[in-house]
Structure 1
Amino acid sequence: MAGKALQLHKVACNAKRRRVWCKGRKLERDGVRCSASSFVPCTTGISLWEVKSGTKQDEHTSRSLGPSLHDMCAAEASASLLQVEENFSACLARMDALIFKPLLQSEPSDQKGKENFKLFLILNDQFQALWNLTEENYRIVKQKCSTSQSFCIQDIYIVWKGDLFLSLYIQYFVTFANYVVVHGFEHATKSKSEAWKHHKTVLKQFLTDFTSETSMSLALYTVLHKPIRDHVEQYILLLTKLNEVLKEGSEKDIVASAVKEYVKLKSFISQVLDEACFTKSLWKSLGYKFTDMLCVPERRLLEDSRNLPISSSTNRSDRILLFDDVLVLIQGNSFQSFDLKLVWVDETCREKSAPGQYGLRIITPEETFVLSARDPQMKAVWQWKLNQAIRQALNGKRDFPLWGKTGEGAEPSSCRFFTYVFRLESKFKNATYEGEWHWGKPHGKGTLKWRDGRNHVGDFKEGLEHGFGICLVPRRSEDRYDCYKCHWFEGKMRGYGICEYGNDMVYKGYFKNDVRQGFGILENFSAEHPFKYTGQWENDKKNGYGVWEDKDRGERYIGTWLDDHKHGQGIVVTQSGVCYQRMFHADKMVGSGILLLEDDSVYEGNFTQDLTFVGKGKLSFANGFILEGTFTNKSGQGLQTQGVLNTSNEQLDERITKAQLGLKEFPVEKRWKGIYDQFLEFIHSGCKEEMEESFTGFHIQTSKELRRSQEYLFCQRGAEEASWKTEDILEELVQHHELGSLQNYLEKALKSSLHPLGKLLKALTIAFQATYSGIGANRHLLTMAQEEVKYYAKKIWEFYQGLLHLALEQKGEPPVKCVDGEVSDQKAYSVVLPLILPCFYPELFMLYMLYHEREDDLYCQGIVDLSLFPDIKLLEFLDVQKHLWPLKDLTLTTNQRRSLIKDKCFLSATECLQKLITTVDPREKLLILQKTYEEIESTVSRVVEKDYKLPMDDLLPLLMYVVSRAKIQHLGAEIHLIRDLMDPTNQGGLYDFLLTALESCYEHIQKMRLHQRENCHVAHTS
């Protein structure tokens, strides 16, 4: 029995196929063919064949869901259903033979008729699907009755397959209504087909209920919907009676739910037909011009201002039509239509209405107007209908039934996602926007595309670009684009951004009001003229302090600019090592300047672009000679001069070596002002997150959401997911402002690419490298670089103080006591400078090495000479007192005698001093020096077998021994870097004393080498 029921179930699910032939054209019908309908049944409660638990059952398990129906009830229900389905199936067969087949054989030839005929083909498919389902139901019921089997709910097809029944009925009546709206029956009855004429007489006999005065179109309309509509009534009556006799239980619940759904279907059919007639009447009343443009089969008129009066604020005579997809304003011979998906209704209308009028403000992407009603009730009806229509349009489906309680009270969302083409005159004219909307304005994420190829993807706020966005702009006469990856503010670029121009140039820096403004880097990667500019911009032009690197010429310009030209004081550094300082005017050199040649000669006076001396000048040679006079350079005759040669200045060599440029011309506080200004603006804004997002750089690939999975804003917290909130920064600032945790906090903050202080340091590092690395590594720029690094530490400390003051203020805590400038500078040296120095150390130390190259060469030669001495000989040579010699350390093996140069004496101190080059922090270097001193003293104490404090006379020879054995390269650069950058509080203390002792050793080793050279020279001459 179960196998037979399962077989019937499969038969029922696979509807029969019939073939209908029309003018040699085969129409094949599957069991269900759906039209492009937006109607989807919205069932409430449990499904038609679900139990209260909500789980669907198959035919086998469903038989155990409850007691079977009473025999009397089963017999009555099955007999009634069998009779209903038999009569209905016969009616459908007559409709198919006398109406559908003749109409299918009379395809019209006019365009309008052909369009309607396509709708009729869909209607026929829906009809055939209903017929198939009816016959399947009839067959199953008949089989059950003939076998006298006991019935259960799953044997009643209209309940078991209730969802399928509802779907097919909905599709049929939606398609039927579409056909009604376009006057389909009127066109069909006017057909001149011979087949149709032949069937007209037979059809009249079939339509016995109609009088001779009844139009054929009305008769067809009635016949094709009334029997089917009445059949739904039969289902409702039958199921209602069945529900009344069932006992309480799961089967009764299922039948009750089915009754509710069929009642909804009945209401739906009535509403669909009413809407169709209402819409059809509208198209009759409007002229052909409006009908041709507005009439769509699926479109339904929901309300007309002529039936429910309401008027537009712009023109009282306007006619307002509310459809299920658009709102239409007819104004004379023209009309405007607004897609309901982009219509917002504001009931709190503040616009002034006429006395006694009640307004609704209608907001669309490009227009806003007011609809005025005479009384609040009328306004409320329009408001309700508008909101329901908008909600259904946004959902992509109508309610079921159309105006039931399904969506009552549900307001459409104010935030939406949609595509729209701007048409009115504005900055977005002819642009297509796809993205998020809020009250008629692009708001959120979106994309703008213009017809000319422009493209903007990013964040929008109240109709304007606001936040991060990427904009593509096509270049004229080129098949290339300018790509802006920037932050926007109220429709204009503002803040940090990157622009990749189509001509192989890239700009990374700040914008304001759509132009480059503030600090920025412009680099040209083309092979024709590669260059890089790092500096200040104003109104899209290079203005202020900046660095220009000409990669073709191998030159770097460091100085001031005006309107894209070198203007004012400037320093030019060449790849060959020559550099000069000169006044510029519109890219041309003017006046006299100073030229520093590669061989340490110095020329002061006028010179040409190719560095040829011209006019009056003074040339100071590296050997101390000075030539002062007038210089000329005639073609073929070389450089000529008339003047005086002075050979008496013996101290010039030292002065030339220490010559420094740019100190007075470029005050350190005026360099890179654009970087500091951005940070100040961020603090003054109260550290708003959107300001921080744009104030000093960002990761292009990360939006705000993606950044949370990257580095934590400034403080690593193990595996904890990174989060970014401005209040987190301010909270951490307050927690770590005490001296104990401040150092650790600042170290993590400055290393983070997400913390404001870390971003500031990154920008300063880029500026420093652009100035002093590569070509800019010139010893004459050392003092500029050194004071710049110190100033960085000072500014970072000031900005930290500013952030801390703001954080405490926002928490309502008392601010930190203000400190004077001297104390603030000490904090910058002691706290900040050691933390930021690693970022600048490679470039800075290179300058120190170049600056002290001559002294370090002499020192290295001295070290080589001293390394030839065995340990005892060296100690003797350096006048180390013999009672301090660690002779026990010099017990040599046979192998060691062969190599007496091998270092053994004061080995621990030597190894300690060698660590000097392993760190960049002046504090740590001084600690290493102190540790070296302690190791020397410890060794001496062991030798003399008592605690021994070394006096200066004993320390210097011993320290010189250790220095000579440590063989530290560039020791002069190391010493002077420590001296220049160490904490000022160490001056006059132990560290200062030890550093002075190291300097003395360094200088003594140089003089030893010079002395040896002089002795060699004397011996050679004698």
Structure 2
Amino acid sequence: MANSNSSALSRRSACRHKRNSNPVKPLRRTMDVSGLKGVCQVAVRSLLSTEETFLSALARINDIVLQPLLRTDQDDQKGKEHMKSLLLLSDRYHAVWDRTEENYKTLKRKYSTSEYSLTLHDIYIILKKDLFLDVYTQYFTCFTNYVVIQGFDRAAKQMSGYWKTNKKMVKQLLAPSVSEPTTAITLHTVLHETIRNQIQQYALILTRLNENAEEIDEKNLVSDALNLYVKLQNFIGQSLDEASLTKILWGSLGSKLVSSLCVPERRLQEDSKYVPVSISTGKFERVLLFDDLLILLQGTDFRSFDLKLVWVDPAPTENSTAASHSLRIITPEEEFLLSSKEPHHKAIWQWKLNQVIRQRLDGKRDFPLWGKSEEGLDPCASRFSTYTFRSECRFKNAVYEGDFSWGKPHGKGTLKWPDGHNYVGDFKEGLEDGFGICLIPHSSEDGYDCYKCHWREGKMQGYGICEYSNETVYKGYFKDNLRHGFGIQESPISSKHPFKYTGHWDRDKKMGYGIWDDIESGQRYIGMWQNDQRHGAGVVVMQSGACYQGTFLMDKITGMGILISEDESVFEGKFTEQLKLDGKGKLTFSDRFTLEGNFISKAGKDLQTRGVLNANSKEQDYDVTRKPQLGLTEFPVEKRWQGIYDPFFEFISSGCREETEESFLGIHVQSSKELRKSQEYLFCQRDSEEISGKIEDVLEALYEYQDLKSLQCYLQKALNSSQHPFAKLLKSLSTVFQATYAGIGANRHLLHMAQEEVKYHAWKTWEFYRNITHVATKQKGQLPDTEEDTEGSEKENSYTLILPVILPRFHPELFMLYMLYHEKEDALYWQGIVHLGLFSDTKLLEFLEVQKNLWPLKDLRLTTNQRHSLVRERCFLSATECLQKIITTVDPREKLGILLKTHEEIETTVSRVMEKEYKLPMDDLLPLLVYVVSRARIQRLGAEIHLIRDLMDPKNEGGIYDFMLTAIESCYEHIQKEEIRLYHFP
């Protein structure tokens, strides 16, 4: 391959040599300098004369030196590398030749036809200075590469016969002052000196032109070009010096080191042999600084460091005299000191290291190589690079690609291990810290576990999502790489034993309060856990509607328990694993009869007992026997979901620092801040109702919104923002509420548990709001109000401010429990409503014993007997329509307002009938209210009434709202009465 390339170049050069074999003819005529209109013509003539000589020299050098070199036979591997460098050198040589010849011909043609009209714009070494700079730097780069690999020495040996034969001809190419050099030196000198001298000639021409230029613009144009060629001369000199020093170094080292380290492009920058420094490791004795590597050397043993990942700290931490003359060298896996006895030696190494590192990071050398000495050119501490860890550590054999700072991964990056283990995300001081995604393969080649988590100091910490290889998913909190705190784990429906766990974890074990759904059997366990097993008080809810409450020990039922069957029979005693009574117990039937004795449960047989049947228990409180409530004392409400509240209150205790927000509040904050910002500002027109979830905006808003109306409006919007802390808290609370009470958990015996939780969530959310408001106030430099200062304030009441805002999230499941709890009462009530619906308006008023002077007769069209109206549901219509609005809101406060408004509408109608303002006494109000309720036909009124009673603000107890609610309750109970449901028309 090398020979074919050499032949091609030889043919090309031969053609060119044929064109240029004769000396360039002199100019047509001799010009009189005094006849020129300006110095530009003098510069052009001088340039053309110089180029003629230069082109002639290039042709002779190509013919006598370069072409014979290219015909050298290079069969061995080392020779092929030499030939590759020589071919590149030849290509760059001809590029210089082509560039010069092309521009020379153009200028000569212009000069021959219009010598007196030439301007600076015709002098190509000015206008095309960047092209000339590029072609000359490329040539000398290739030339010095060939010097470094000792190409001229090798060529001199391999073609010694040719050089002896043509010694006289070759020597003619040298300057007369050169004595008898070696063949290698001759070749080296011939191929660089002529070109280097030509650049000097360009600089001289431009210097004279610059001295004679008068116009400022012209002077600047020439001055800029001159400076560039001066820098080029410096660059050439520095390049040749570096190549010479590097060549000497390779000649002084053993072949093993040279074969490992020597590449044509690498240049020696400093050597501790000449500027002494010692190495703190003790193992190595010599330091070599190249333009891409830092080498520690001892004999044939060496250690190399890529300069992209080398940091220089001029102030080591050691408190000693030696440390003051030391530099701390920091790399991803090692740190050591370079110490010198002389301060100026330290200064040299510090400057050289910083400049070479900076150039390495920039991806190019300075121009000239050591021409920048201004301050502020030290390399930046933050860098992007790739590194493979080798030492014994957690990252061993991993390839890291990403941001570094002072030798440590810091910022965004990717870690990849050979076994497929990957991490992509944030790093801080060498460890995973922030948000990251980690893939961990299984040895069985069964897929990966994927962790999308927050990390701190190299460990999973905070909120995360783990997708296991078996398709099970965990969403929750981690601590020290283990599931810890609140979390939800769910297996796919297609798995062998599908399940869902919603609850607390401790060191990767289910621990504390939690909900387990056994999807296969249709059972739900609500209760305490220890070491992944049911342990402590627990409630089992079955798909059939039956419930069991008892004690579990290491996943086994133990001790006394209570079982409520589908027909509301209650079993009390000891139970088997199949939830059958076994031993002494008590059975209370749905009709309130009781049976006490010893019960025997045998496989395949019905329950057998010997005991006493008691019928006197029928006098007991029906509600207590029929609808007992479970879990109230076993699971105190303040201990159920503390794992959800803890991260939010920890976030507040940290001062709401933004860097802690993501790990405390979940992945949906971030998922990254850059992504969040891009989403926020992606559209120029945004909804004016949109509010920000960024913590600084949240604190500002909470500080500004002080009155109840504006604050409640803000919180309502906050709950619709996926980024807002209140929305995140409420989402977690509604998730566990649904996990407990939806589906199988929709059981009437859990109503009081659910009702407790809703009120507790309102109170804790209120506490969260108060605490975060205190942070906002402090950040404004003000002292927050004390509880005493604001006691009794309406905005601080969790019932007034928080409950109306959060209740819609819990209402579907909660109201279902109320409906189930009052199912029988509501059924009796509806029978009464249906029956009363058969009455005409006047007949119903008469039946309810409403005084006739209160009848709104103008609203009725009566028959001749004045007893039956022709149009139904026209009487007290405004009150009826008002009461029907009670189902349009879930807010207990608004429902109470509707009841009060209904009362006012009834009195307004009566006052119109009486033609004076009239306040109804209770004896008159109740029958009228029964009439309105019967005409409003509100289904499940019992569930509505009891929800209002349980969740209304305690401050309303004993007031007008309480009075109206009591009145509605009386109406509800009255309509259930047997005499109403079974009344027959006369």
Name the counterpart of 1:578: 546
Indicate whether 1:648 and 2:616 are aligned: yes
Name the counterpart of 1:161: 128
Indicate whether 1:787 and 2:753 are aligned: no
**1:647 aligned partner, one-letter code:** A
Aligned-residue offset at 1:771: 0.7
What CA deviation, in whole Å up to 9, does each residue of 1:255-276 have, x standing for no partner? 1211111111111111100000
Deviates more, 1:584-593 or 1:600-609: 600-609
- Structural mapping, 1:918-957, within 5 Å: 918-957=888-927
Distance 1:938 1:81 in 2: 113
What CA deviation, in whole Å up to 9, does each residue of 1:876-921 have, x standing for no partner? 1111111211122112799xx9995732111111111110100000
Name the counterpart of 1:626: 594
Aligned-residue offset at 1:586: 1.1
What CA deviation, in whole Å up to 9, does each residue of 1:510-555 have, x standing for no partner? 1111111111111111512211111111011000011101111111
What CA deviation, in whole Å up to 9, does each residue of 1:244-297 have, x standing for no partner? 222223223211211111111111111100000010001011111211111110
Aligned-residue offset at 1:724: 5.9
Select 2:705's aligned residue among 719, 736, 759. Answer: 736
Name the counterpart of 1:775: 744
- Structural mapping, 1:420-569, within 5 Å: 420-527=387-494, 528-569=496-537
Distance 1:814 1:911 in 2: 50
Contact 1:123/1:172, CA 8 A, preserved across alignment? yes
Distance 2:691 2:914 in 1: 60
- Structural mapping, 1:404-423, within 5 Å: 404-405=371-372, 409-423=376-390
Contact 2:399/2:417, CA 8 A, preserved across alignment? yes
Indicate whether 1:705 and 2:705 are aligned: no
Select 2:308's aligned residue among 333, 336, 341. Answer: 341
Distance 1:991 1:711 in 2: 45
Name the counterpart of 1:591: 559
Contact 2:832/2:981, CA 8 A, preserved across alignment? no
- Structural mapping, 1:71-110, within 5 Å: 71=37, 73-110=39-76
Distance 2:630 2:11 in 1: 93
Select 2:345's aligned residue among 347, 372, 378. Answer: 378
Distance 1:1000 1:639 in 2: 43
**1:478 aligned partner, one-letter code:** E
Q: Which has the higher contact order (CA 8 A, sep 6+)?
A: 1
Indicate whether 1:985 and 2:955 are aligned: yes
Name the counterpart of 1:399: 366
Name the counterpart of 1:116: 82
| Other structure's SS at 2:559 match | strand
Aligned-residue offset at 1:982: 0.6
Distance 2:135 2:272 in 1: 34
Indicate whether 1:358 and 2:328 are aligned: no
| Other structure's SS at 1:582 match | strand
- Structural mapping, 1:834-913, within 5 Å: 834-891=804-861, 900=870, 902-913=872-883
What CA deviation, in whole Å up to 9, does each residue of 1:333-392 have, x standing for no partner? 311111111111111222245559611111111111111122222211111111111111
Distance 1:559 1:824 in 2: 37
Could you say if the C-alpha distance between residues 331 and 484 of structure 1 is closer, same or farther in structure 2, counting changes exceeding 3 Å? same
| Other structure's SS at 1:495 match | strand
Distance 2:35 2:310 in 1: 53
| Other structure's SS at 2:501 match | strand
Distance 2:129 2:691 in 1: 53
Distance 2:777 2:604 in 1: 74
**2:148 aligned partner, one-letter code:** V
- Structural mapping, 1:289-308, within 5 Å: 289-308=256-275
| Other structure's SS at 2:514 match | strand
Could you say if the C-alpha distance between residues 317 and 541 of structure 1 is closer, same or farther in structure 2, counting changes exceeding 3 Å? closer
Distance 1:805 1:938 in 2: 47
Name the counterpart of 1:46: none
Contact 1:668/1:787, CA 8 A, preserved across alignment? yes
Deviates more, 1:681-690 or 1:872-881: 681-690
Could you say if the C-alpha distance between residues 912 and 969 of structure 1 is closer, same or farther in structure 2, counting changes exceeding 3 Å? same
Contact 2:669/2:723, CA 8 A, preserved across alignment? no
What CA deviation, in whole Å up to 9, does each residue of 1:559-592 have, x standing for no partner? 0000000001100001111111011111111122
Output the aligned Cα RMSD: 3.0
**1:473 aligned partner, one-letter code:** I
Name the counterpart of 2:768: 799
**2:701 aligned partner, one-letter code:** E
Distance 2:836 2:738 in 1: 38
**2:96 aligned partner, one-letter code:** L
Contact 1:521/1:534, CA 8 A, preserved across alignment? yes
Could you say if the C-alpha distance between residues 750 and 73 of structure 1 is closer, same or farther in structure 2, counting changes exceeding 3 Å? closer
Distance 1:499 1:868 in 2: 61
Distance 1:880 1:933 in 2: 16
**1:184 aligned partner, one-letter code:** G
Contact 1:890/1:904, CA 8 A, preserved across alignment? yes
Aligned-residue offset at 1:233: 0.9
Normalising by structure 2, we get a TM-score of 0.92
Contact 1:344/1:364, CA 8 A, preserved across alignment? yes
What CA deviation, in whole Å up to 9, does each residue of 1:800-821 have, x standing for no partner? 2222334434444333222499
Indicate whether 1:130 and 2:96 are aligned: yes
| Other structure's SS at 2:461 match | strand
Could you say if the C-alpha distance between residues 316 and 485 of structure 1 is closer, same or farther in structure 2, counting changes exceeding 3 Å? closer
Contact 1:357/1:373, CA 8 A, preserved across alignment? no
Distance 2:122 2:325 in 1: 57
What CA deviation, in whole Å up to 9, does each residue of 1:174-231 have, x standing for no partner? 1000000000111222226998887677546656859895321111000000011111
Aligned-residue offset at 1:737: 4.1
**2:654 aligned partner, one-letter code:** S
Could you say if the C-alpha distance between residues 898 and 454 of structure 1 is closer, same or farther in structure 2, counting changes exceeding 3 Å? farther
Unpaired segments ≥5 residues, structure 2: 14-33
Contact 2:693/2:725, CA 8 A, preserved across alignment? no
**2:587 aligned partner, one-letter code:** L
Could you say if the C-alpha distance between residues 362 and 634 of structure 1 is closer, same or farther in structure 2, counting changes exceeding 3 Å? closer
Distance 2:164 2:65 in 1: 12
- Structural mapping, 1:9-48, within 5 Å: none
Distance 1:75 1:822 in 2: 97
Deviates more, 1:933-942 or 1:167-176: 933-942
| Other structure's SS at 2:849 match | coil
> Identity over aligned residues, as a percent?
61
Distance 1:964 1:526 in 2: 47
- Structural mapping, 1:992-1011, within 5 Å: 992-1008=962-978
Distance 2:453 2:143 in 1: 55
| Other structure's SS at 2:784 match | coil
Distance 2:870 2:430 in 1: 85
Could you say if the C-alpha distance between residues 677 and 70 of structure 1 is closer, same or farther in structure 2, counting changes exceeding 3 Å? same
Distance 1:821 1:232 in 2: 86
Could you say if the C-alpha distance between residues 200 and 621 of structure 1 is closer, same or farther in structure 2, counting changes exceeding 3 Å? farther
Unpaired segments ≥5 residues, structure 1: 1-18, 31-67
Normalising by structure 1, we get a TM-score of 0.89
Aligned-residue offset at 1:160: 2.0
Could you say if the C-alpha distance between residues 569 and 425 of structure 1 is closer, same or farther in structure 2, counting changes exceeding 3 Å? same
Contact 1:709/1:722, CA 8 A, preserved across alignment? no
Could you say if the C-alpha distance between residues 477 and 811 of structure 1 is closer, same or farther in structure 2, counting changes exceeding 3 Å? same
Distance 1:636 1:498 in 2: 46
Could you say if the C-alpha distance between residues 306 and 849 of structure 1 is closer, same or farther in structure 2, counting changes exceeding 3 Å? same
| Other structure's SS at 1:190 match | helix
Deviates more, 1:796-805 or 1:101-110: 796-805
| Other structure's SS at 1:650 match | helix
**1:592 aligned partner, one-letter code:** M
Alignment size in residue pairs = 956
